[in-house]
């Protein structure tokens, strides 16, 4: 959405945002000169506020008569706008960026929005199967900045930063640390590769764990423990949160995306724009981004053996790497640029407002 705002704000649209005060999002919006109004969703004890309490924060701004539409940028916020739609003085639309099971009540809330956007056909089909009204849901793909994310020669800086030899091969994995992203399957695949004698491949893990649930903590600790085994010791590099994702993609040899579910992986869009070879699980909207054996290698979810084989095949076949990289970049240019995404959303919003 930030990429879309950068394209459209103060041109065909003027945007005003509701967002948490003093948050990273507010800072990014300020850079885009988007006016922000603070909204709080939890009380001082961390408990979720009622819908009525949230509505009281939104209504004074929305009732000024300045606005034509309220767009919710996530599934949870789309549920909120749907539930409040009868109280709001403007029509509501929303974005469905997740494939998760919802209750009947949640679907009823979503259906109260005038229109909804799903980020992939897989996302749309899933929610329709759970009770969403088909006529309300349109698929519009996200896009990325193809100038920021583009093929560039590796500089070797990252390997030097990590103290690695020049011939080290780097497998990059990006995403929030958690079961849904499948990093546990990656550790199993890494062990299989090591057992076959691969001692030169290292694994870059970018992302953080946000959940404080015990099961999430144990999952995170399990990743560290797996790479503490003698065959893998020293070959996992946790890079945490990084801003320079484009630079990491230019330095890596391969993106490995072992997710167990993925509506439309942004990291996959960034990788194809960067011309970075991809091995990914064939889940959700991933096959709408890349084609198996053409622009990526796709494997079943939860299959460490298949994942290891695909990683090995890609890293050992220079011709395959070059072919997939070129096809991936062309796919990004054809379907997934931020300009195209902005044009699609602009047309959608104009239609909703009318």
Average pLDDT, integer, range 204-209? 95
**What pLDDT, in 10s, does the model give residues 8-25?**
999 989 999 999 999 999
**Structure confidence at residue 195 as a pLDDT band (50, 70, 90):** very high
Q: What is the mean pLDDT of residues 314-343?
A: 96
CB atoms closer than 10 angstroms to residue 33 = 10
Cα(290)–Cα(285) distance, integer angstroms: 9
Per-residue pLDDT, 133: 97
Sign of CA dihedral 14, 16, 22, 28: negative
pLDDT tens, residue by residue, 126-166:
999 999 999 999 999 999 999 999 999 999 999 999 999 99
Give the pLDDT score at 22: 92
Distance CA 347, CA 325 (A): 31
Q: Say if CB 112 and CB 91 are below 8 A apart.
A: no
CATH fold of the domain at 2-143+337-353: Rossmann fold (3.40.50)
Task: Specify the DSSP element, H or E, that contains 137.
Answer: strand 137-139
Percent of the chain with pLDDT over 70: 100
d(CA 193, CA 204) in angstroms, rounded, equals 16
pLDDT given at position 101: 93
Q: Which residue intervals of 252-290 are DSSP H helices?
A: 266-274, 286-289
0.85 exceeded by pTM: yes
- pLDDT (tens digit per residue) in 32-83: 999 999 999 998 888 999 989 999 999 999 999 999 999 999 999 999 999 9
- Give the per-residue pLDDT at 143: 95
Which residues are 290's β-sheet partners? none
Give the angle subtended at the CA of 305 by the CAs of 185 and 151, to the nearest 5°. Answer: 70
Distances (CA, A) of 221 to 10, 48, 301: 46, 29, 22
**Domain spans of the chain, in order of start:** 2-143+337-353, 157-335
Provide the CB-side half-sphere exposure for 276 (13 A, CA).
31
Q: State the Cα angle at 44 between 40 and 49, rounded to 5°.
A: 45
Tell me the average pLDDT across 336-352.
95
Q: Which residues pair with 9 in a beta bridge?
A: 13
Check pLDDT > 80 for residue 354. Answer: no
Tell me the Cα Rg of the chain: 22
| Cβ atoms within 10 Å of 166's Cβ, excluding its own | 8
Average pLDDT of the segment spanning 338-354:
93
Q: Are 173 and 203 in contact (CB under 8 A)?
A: yes
pLDDT, residue 241, reads 92
Q: What is the pLDDT of residues 237-292, one digit of tens each?
A: 999 999 899 999 999 999 999 999 999 999 999 999 999 999 999 999 999 999 99
- Is 157-335 in the same CATH topology as 2-143+337-353? yes
pLDDT at 212 over 90: no
Rounded CA-CA distance 131/124 in Å is: 11
Q: How high does pLDDT run on average in the chain?
A: 95
pLDDT of 86-115, one tens digit each?
A: 999 999 999 999 999 999 999 999 999 999
From the list 38, 72, 74, the residue with the least C-alpha distance to 58 is 38
Does pLDDT of 196 surpass 90? yes
Distance CA 260, CA 250 (A): 25
Contact by Cβ (8 Å): 89, 55: no
> CATH number of the domain at 157-335, out of 3.40.50.2000, 3.90.1640.10, 1.10.287.610, 3.90.1170.50?
3.40.50.2000
State the pLDDT at residue 46: 85
């Amino acid at each position: 959405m930030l990429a879309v705002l950068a394209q459209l704000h103060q041109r065909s649209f003027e945007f005003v945002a509701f967002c948490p005060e003093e948050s990273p999002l507010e800072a990014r919006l300020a850079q885009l000169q988007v006016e922000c109004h603070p909204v709080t969703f939890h009380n001082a004890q961390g408990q979720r506020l009622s819908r009525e309490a949230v509505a009281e924060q939104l209504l004074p701004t929305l009732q000024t008569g300045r606005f034509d539409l309220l767009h919710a940028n996530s599934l949870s916020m789309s549920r909120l706008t749907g539930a409040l739609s009868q109280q709001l003085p403007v029509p509501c639309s929303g974005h469905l960026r997740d494939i998760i099971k919802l209750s009947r009540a949640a679907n009823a809330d979503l259906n109260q929005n005038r229109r909804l956007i799903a980020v992939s056909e897989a996302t749309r089909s899933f929610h329709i199967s759970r009770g969403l009204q088909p006529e309300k849901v349109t698929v519009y793909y996200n896009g990325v900045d193809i100038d920021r994310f583009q093929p560039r020669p590796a500089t070797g800086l990252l390997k030097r930063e990590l103290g690695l030899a020049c011939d080290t091969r780097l497998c990059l994995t990006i995403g929030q640390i958690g079961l849904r992203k499948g990093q546990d399957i990656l550790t199993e695949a890494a062990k299989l590769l090591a057992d076959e004698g691969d001692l030169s491949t290292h694994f870059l893990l970018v992302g953080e764990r946000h959940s404080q649930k015990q099961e999430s903590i144990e999952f995170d600790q399990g990743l560290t423990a797996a790479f503490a085994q003698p065959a893998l010791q020293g070959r996992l590099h946790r890079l945490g949160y990084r801003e320079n994702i484009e630079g990491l993609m230019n330095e890596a040899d391969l993106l490995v995306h072992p997710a167990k579910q993925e509506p439309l992986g942004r990291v996959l869009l960034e990788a194809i724009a960067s011309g970075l070879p991809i091995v990914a699980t064939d889940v959700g909207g991933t096959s709408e981004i890349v084609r198996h054996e053409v622009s990526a290698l796709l494997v079943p979810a939860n299959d460490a053996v298949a994942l290891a084989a695909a990683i090995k095949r890609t890293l050992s076949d220079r011709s395959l790497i070059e072919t997939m990289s070129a096809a991936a970049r062309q796919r990004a240019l054809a379907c997934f640029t931020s300009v195209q995404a902005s044009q699609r959303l602009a047309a959608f919003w104009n239609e909703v407002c009318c």
